[in-house]
A and B are shown apart, each in its own frame.
Chain A
Amino acid sequence: MLKTFLASTVALAALTGAATAQDKKLVISVYGFAQDEFKEIVYDPFEAQCGCELVVETGNSVERLAKLEARKDDPEIDMAVMSTHDALAAARAEITQKIDVSRLSNYDKLYDIAKDPVGDNMGVGYTFYATSIAYRADEVTIESWEDLFQDKLKGRVAFPNVTTNQGPPALYMLGQAMGDDAASLEAPINKVAENKDDIVTFYVRSSQVAQLMQQEEILAAPIGRFAWGAYSKMGLDMAWATPKEGQTGGMNVMVLTKGAKNEDLAYDFMDFWLSTEIQTKLAEALVDSPANAEVEVADEIAENLTYGAETVKNLKLLPPDVILDNRDQWLDLWNEKVGQ
């Protein structure tokens, strides 16, 4: 009798224990980069604050989107971060739900462009970056996106592959420089195709460009501002171009999974991440440029970020629906003209 009683008590305790742990668990899906910094600045302090367990899943956007889609009817992930166009794809696939921004106390502090970048409040921007041209100031001058094809840069320039997040925005700006801003990107892709033998490589990872620059293999390349830190430390005369057509870039947003099992915790976590304190710390660690307009950082930090109302206002971002609706055609055209 005693045995049965003990056994059932243990079983009951185990069950309730499991249930509480389940209640206080938040599963998030994020990019694999800078996870040590995120753990220290965001995850650990949040766990301490909420008394819950935070499960972090990482991977590239395609893998993570595929996983979200596969578990659509029984989502294990509560919130995820992704690019604006991936967020739009997720919204269209009905994987995510509208975010009730009134539940985010830090929402009003965000720059306007970060407030509803996907539309219908299907995502809230938490960071963005400028894309422009990093170049060797002692060797060349760059004042326009078309200057990438100047004689001095023949055989000494890298360009982002159309498959990267930098590719389409860079092509779009090149189109602007050519006086053509059609969403088909046909003119700029043709321009790149004409010059493809003079382009050292179509890079897929920003770390690759840093290495080529360091080795003096290339003298210029369009890159995302988030990678700039590595260039400024190279001991070379590096400069960040401010082309007359302007700078482009990209934005990452937070999304809430449809049917998320821990919605309340997900809101708490998003609000925590958007707070001035956390956004400042992430900026100071050079992890993410702040989307929170109240963040203030020292000049030497700001130099490595996409920072300040003026910079943000002048970013020419490709709308997510333009990217999503044209991506396949861009890839086909690119493969046909450039990829051979």
Chain B
Amino acid sequence: MFQNRMEALALALPAALFAAFVFLVPVFILLSEGFRAEGAWTLAPYVDFFDSELNRTVFWRTLKLGAIVTAVSAVIGYATAWSIVTLPPTARGRMIGLVVMPLMISPVARTYAWIVILGRTGFVNQTLVGLGIADSPIRFLFTETAVFIGLLQLFLPLMILSLISALENMPKDAVPAARVLGANWLQVFFKVILPLTKEGLVIGGTLVFTGSLTAYITPAILGGSKVLMLETLLYQRVTVANDFASASIIAMILMVMSFSANLLLKRLATARNKR
């Protein structure tokens, strides 16, 4: 397309310089804070960070909730996406519209709605008590359960949409062929659907996991300070303790977790492929 490589590079240069100066350099400065103590380069701040029991608890909780939300949204996502792609085109369009709709509502509004729904006098508790399942209202708010429900609702649409596009790209006769050859539904899913849609799962999984790690509003409102996550801890370190060094450590941990999750999911996908 270009007469020579130099021309192409020259055209890319302004954008590259812009990205370097307004993104990479500040990010480097911010993250390097965590590797410096008393003017020297060191890993000590990270050791100190993980030395604190609170920080470890928050780290594991963030990882655990992120993994559970991703896993559950994958299960629900496959079932939903499969039922949507098998619909006739008009109905499919409508259903996709319904899946997308929550994404158009502000996360703040969606999360506040959960405060009402999950409250003592909310819909869930009224139903549970009304049906005799619970004697008295159960406390959901400010628990890990509430944060899990909030995050799942927040990110499930992203998983469903990624899986819908993956399932749509799957050859139409792959599933009937497997069935004709005698595979049961479990085999069809694990040997045909999953390998053929793994790209969608990797994209959806990365979006959901990264989103769950870095969500601030939902854990802040539904979990509060009793269910601190890395993101809410980061906010606390900056706004309360004015401790930018810890904040940059948390930012670094979040970045590493996101990249690792993406790599891990990709690795899992290729591993299945080779088999």
Residues of A within 8 A of B (CB): 60, 62-63, 65-66, 155, 161, 163, 196, 200-204, 208, 211, 215-217, 328, 331, 335-336, 339-340
Contacts and interface: CB of A to CB of B under 8 A. Distances in A.
B54 A215 contact: no
A215 B141 CA distance: 12
A153 to B, nearest CB: 13
**Residues of B in contact with A, size category:** 20 to 34
Contacts of B53: 336, 340
DSSP majority for the A interface? mixed
A56 to B, nearest CB: 21
23 contacts: A62-B239, A63-B239, A155-B139, A161-B225, A200-B142, A201-B141, A201-B224, A202-B226, A204-B224, A211-B115, A215-B115, A215-B119, A215-B121, A216-B119, A216-B120, A217-B119, A217-B141, A328-B241, A336-B53, A336-B54, A339-B228, A340-B54, A340-B57
B240 A201 contact: no
A87 to B, nearest CB: 16
A215 B142 contact: no
A77 B230 CA distance: 34
B142 A201 contact: yes
A297 to B, nearest CB: 34
**Which 7 pairs from chain A and chain B are nearest by CB?**
A163-B240, A201-B142, A201-B224, A202-B225, A335-B54, A215-B119, A161-B225
Contact of B224 (A202, A215, A328): A202
A38 B223 CA distance: 34
A204 B225 contact: yes
B120 A217 contact: yes
A335 B58 CA distance: 11
Contact of B240 (A62, A202, A211, A215): A62
B242 interface: yes
Nearest to A200: B142
B21 to A, nearest CB: 21
Interface in B98-126: 115-116, 119-122
B145 interface: no
Nearest to B122: A215
B228 A215 contact: no
B226 A201 contact: yes
A208 B115 CA distance: 11
Contacts of B153: none
A272 to B, nearest CB: 31
B22 to A, nearest CB: 20
